[in-house]
């Protein structure tokens, strides 16, 4: 875990440096405006008083001297108030920076925790299923399959696509694979159907991509859902029929039984299942 | 596509299912089952011998009937001699709760 950086009153952070001038400008402007108002009102009133006095005995020199003294008084008030506001701005910006830094640390800690959980699950899942189920991070998925060009791409939008996809993939592989016959054919289509049904049931939609490897067909079922909850993975693996919106559903035992390998890549932007029949 | 034929009427109904039972075709079966008079229904048997395809959603629908009819003391049976379909039924755990 990363060491928490110390935040002292004099330790400037990046946010201080950005926020401080902005806050100073805003407070200085509002202060100037307030002081200017008070100053003008006061000066007008004062000059008015002096002019009334001048009718009696005030000379021009004495008038200017009194006015200058009044202006000095206002300059002094303005400086003191500006100083107070600068200090207040600094303190506010310091508090904001401290809060933001804490939030950032919490997010970072959450990310580290998720990565740790993911790595643990990945190892455990691989060991328990003897490599039949694999977890990949989005980066690993991109590295492994990002360059592959699908031979067939079909959209998944509503339930009528389930039958359509099954028929299309069946026809497509029938023309290209010599060994596309039962039980491989029926089992692969059943597993594909399970994965596509999950997309229709639980996500706004997705796509299926078909590839042919030297070992057989490979289907990528990619959706635009919220991703799977890794915390529920043990239930998906070991509890028969367990199903919620963010698991692989009740069809998962069927897929685990009939497929050579399932690779799962999930993130908040969606899930990709790689099914090797 | 799914075809549902009623080969035996009330009170002990037999429905023969042919074709594919999945999320896309489940409504066809639902329509037939919803049309049955529950007051007169004693038992219902789903014959799956003619099914070419069933997935976990189709099986889930049959389990749903088993659970909802149990509240009315109506027996639900699955009649199947199709080896591939039977394997899937067992995989999902149907045979642990539903009778043949």
Quick: pLDDT tens for A200-238.
988 999 999 999 999 999 999 999 998 887 777 667 666
Residue of B nearest to A250 (CA): B56
**B70 CB near a chain A CB, below 8 Å?**
no
Q: Which residues does B64 contact at the CB level (< 8 Å), separation at least 6?
A: none
Whether A163 sits inside 8 A of B22 (CB atoms) is yes
Question: Is residue A170 domain-shared with residue A223, that is, in the same domain?
Answer: yes
How distant is the Cα of A158 from the closest Cα of chain B, in angstroms?
9
Do A61 and A142 reside in the same domain of the chain?
no
Task: Note the pLDDT of residue A15.
Answer: 57
Domain end residue (candidates: A87, A118, A149): A118
User: Along the 277 residues of chain A, how does pLDDT read in single tens digits?
Assistant: 444 444 444 455 565 666 666 777 777 777 777 777 677 777 777 777 777 766 555 566 666 777 777 777 777 777 787 788 778 877 887 888 888 888 889 999 988 988 888 888 888 888 888 889 898 999 999 999 999 999 999 999 999 999 999 999 999 999 999 999 988 999 999 999 999 999 998 899 999 999 999 999 999 999 999 888 777 766 766 665 544 444 456 688 889 889 999 999 988 899 999 999 9
Q: How far is A190 from chain B (nearest CA, A)?
A: 6
CATH of B2-96, one of 3.10.180.10, 3.30.70.580, 3.40.250.10, 3.30.750.24: 3.30.750.24
- Chain B contact for A253 (CB, 8 A cutoff): yes
**Domain count of chain A?**
2
Query: Are residues A165 and A90 part of one domain?
Result: no
- Angstrom distance (rounded) from CA B84 to CA A191: 14
Domain interval for residue A228: 130-276
Write the residue in B22, B53, B60 that is nearest to A250 by C-beta: B60
C-beta atoms of A197 and B25 within 8 A: no
Closest Cα of chain B to A172: distance in Å?
19
Residue A159 touches partner B, C-beta closer than 8 Å: yes
Residue A233 falls inside a structural domain: yes
State both tokens at A148. 């592959």
Residue extents of the structural domains in chain B: 2-96
Are A78 and A146 within one domain?
A: no
What is the rounded distance in angstroms from the CA atom of residue A67 to the CA atom of residue A62?
Answer: 9
A54: enclosing H helix or E strand: helix A14-54
CB contact residues (below 8 A), chain A span 175-234, against chain B: 182-183, 186, 189-190, 193-194, 197, 200-201
Assign residue A222 the CATH number of its domain. Answer: 3.30.565.10
Same domain, A108 and A188: no
Flag whether A223 is in a domain: yes
Maximum separation of any 2 CA atoms in chain B, in Å: 35
Task: Give the end of a domain, one of A88, A118, A148.
Answer: A118
A168 in the same domain as A231:
yes
Residues A222 and A269 in one domain: yes
Confirm whether the ipTM is greater than 0.85: yes
**Is B22:A197 a contact under the CB 8 Å cutoff?**
yes
Interface of B with A in 73-92 (CB under 8 A): 84, 88, 91-92
Output the pLDDT for position A17: 63
Q: A118, A143, A165: which is the final residue of a domain? A: A118
Q: Are B58 and B92 in contact (CB under 8 A)?
A: no
Q: Do residue A197 and residue B91 have CB atoms under 8 angstroms apart?
A: no
Nearest Cβ partner for B88 among A162, A190, A240: A190
Q: What is d(CA B6, CA A268) in angstroms, rounded to the nearest whole number?
A: 46
Interchain CB contact of B60 with A (< 8 Å): yes
């Amino acid at each position: 875990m990363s060491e928490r950086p110390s935040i002292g009153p004099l330790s400037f952070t990046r946010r201080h440096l950005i926020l401080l001038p902005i806050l100073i400008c805003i407070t200085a402007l509002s202060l100037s405006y307030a002081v200017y108002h008070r100053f003008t009102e006061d000066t007008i009133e004062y000059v008015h008083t002096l002019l009334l006095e001048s009718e009696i005995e005030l000379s021009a020199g004495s008038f200017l001297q009194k006015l200058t003294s009044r202006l000095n008084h206002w300059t002094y008030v303005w400086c003191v108030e500006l100083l107070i506001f600068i200090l207040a701005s600094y303190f506010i910006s310091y508090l904001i920076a401290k809060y933001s830094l804490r939030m950032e640390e919490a997010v970072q800690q959450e990310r580290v925790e998720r990565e740790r959980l993911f790595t643990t699950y990945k190892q455990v899942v691989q060991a328990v299923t003897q490599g039949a189920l694999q977890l990949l991070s989005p980066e690993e998925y991109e590295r492994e399959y990002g360059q592959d060009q699908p031979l067939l791409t079909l959209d998944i939008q509503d339930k009528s696509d389930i039958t359509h996809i099954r028929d299309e993939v069946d026809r497509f592989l029938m023309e290209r694979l010599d060994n596309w016959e039962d039980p491989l054919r029926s089992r692969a289509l059943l597993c594909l159907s399970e994965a596509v049904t999950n997309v229709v049931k639980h996500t706004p939609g997705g796509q299926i991509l078909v590839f042919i490897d030297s070992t057989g067909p490979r289907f990528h079922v990619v959706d635009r859902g919220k991703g799977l909850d890794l915390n529920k993975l043990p239930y998906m693996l070991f509890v028969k029929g367990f199903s919620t919106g963010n698991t692989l559903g009740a069809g998962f035992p069927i897929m685990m039984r009939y497929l050579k390998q399932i690779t799962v890549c999930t993130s908040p932007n969606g899930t990709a299942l790689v099914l090797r029949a | 596509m799914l075809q549902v034929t009623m080969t035996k009427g009330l009170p002990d109904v037999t429905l023969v299912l042919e074709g594919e039972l999945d999320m896309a075709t489940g409504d066809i079966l639902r329509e037939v089952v919803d049309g049955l008079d529950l007051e007169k229904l004693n038992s219902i048997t789903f014959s799956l011998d003619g099914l070419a395809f069933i997935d976990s959603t189709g099986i889930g629908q049959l389990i749903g009937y088993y659970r909802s009819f149990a509240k009315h003391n109506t027996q639900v049976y699955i009649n199947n001699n199709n080896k591939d379909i039977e394997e899937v039924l067992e995989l999902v755990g149907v045979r642990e709760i539903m009778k043949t």
